[in-house]
Amino acid sequence: MNLLAAFFRMVRYPNLIYIALTQFLLQYCVVEPVLLNSGAEPSLSFPHFLMLCISTILVAAGGYIINDYFDINIDLVNKPDKMIVDKIINRRWAMAWHTILNMAGVSMGFLVAFQIGQFYLGFVQVFCTLLLWFYSTSFKRQVLIGNVVISLLTALSVVVVGFYERQIYESFEAIMSFEGRKLIKIIGVYALFAFVLSMIREIVKDLEDMIGDSKDGCRTIPIVWGVKKAKRFTMGMMFLLAILLLVILIVTFSKGWYVAAGYILLFVLFPFIWFVQKPFMSAYQPEHYHRISTWIKVVMLTGILSMIFFKIML
């Protein structure tokens, strides 16, 4: 494997594409149509939005690198054949790239915030950078807190687009306007979907990686609570997500958005129940959990793509 390919694997380029796709669809299929329909303009021009998106991607890439840096002992047990840091890219270069990507991402975030006159918004990227650092060094080895942190950051990658929209940050009156309330509702639903689905995937990954995690002294949910309790907790979260998707399906159908409702049923709710929830009940080996984790990513993608219907129907 050459260094460039190794670098892209180290920064989890498919996940970065997920982030970029989420933000682009939210901005141009949800935020822009809602505002244009009311005669308003989005706060971010395309260059500013592109800078915000790149800023988020750079910070996330830095987070993946530092996570691998501190996970070397775990990865030697769980996935030795997939290791990049310390096998292909040495630790010093990994740390250097982590620093470069974080500095670039935070600087770009402050630049966008400054240019739209809301300098304090730049601290959102600083907050994310710090959370990712403490997650890799400490939080991920503690029961529940690591899962919550990653899930919050996943939801934040959705919400951050709304933070930079004046209908949300400008004033209380702007928030309470028709457009403001509509944006908050839509962004809130997608953020909640991302948070719960990410929580489920994080616990599934903990179940998959129990052997390596236990040898490194991690106190993940399956290790501390036991596999049975961890699975019950996860099944409870799966049930909540299925209810959320069912409510979204009913609301979408009641609005007459029949094609969107059919999409949610066939490509989001059904695969979640059939390929995630159902096999999870009988899963007990790492390969079972790995397959379920992959399907969770598929459901995340189909959920993200549902934003396209707002562009068509708003």
Residue 74 — pLDDT band, cuts 50, 70, 90? confident
pLDDT of 172: 66
Q: Find, among 164, 289, 174, the residue nearest to 220 by Cα.
A: 289
Is residue 129 within 8 Å of 105, Cβ to Cβ?
yes
Position 111 confidence tier, pLDDT thresholds 50, 70, 90: very high
- Cα–Cα distance between 312 and 67 in angstroms, integer? 39
- Which neighbouring-strand residues pair with 161? none
Instruction: Compute the average pLDDT of residues 301-307.
Output: 96
pLDDT of 314 reads: 66
Mean pLDDT within 245-253: 96
Q: What span, in angstroms and rounded, lies between the C-alpha atoms of 207 and 287?
A: 10
* Domain limits for position 219: 3-313
* pLDDT tens, position by position, 146-169: 999 999 999 999 999 988 887 776
Residue 37: per-residue pLDDT: 86
pLDDT category at 43 given cuts 50, 70, 90 is confident
Which pLDDT tens digit goes with each residue over 192-244?
999 999 999 999 999 999 988 888 778 899 999 999 999 999 999 999 999 99
**pTM above threshold 0.85:** yes
Alpha-carbon 189 to chain mean position: 14
pLDDT the model gives residue 60: 97
Higher pLDDT, 168 or 105: 105
Number of domain units in the chain: 1
Contact 113, 250 (CB under 8 A): no
Q: What is the pLDDT of residue 218?
A: 84
Crossing angle of the two packed helices 145-163 and 123-137, in degrees rounded to 10: 170
> How many residues appear in the chain?
314
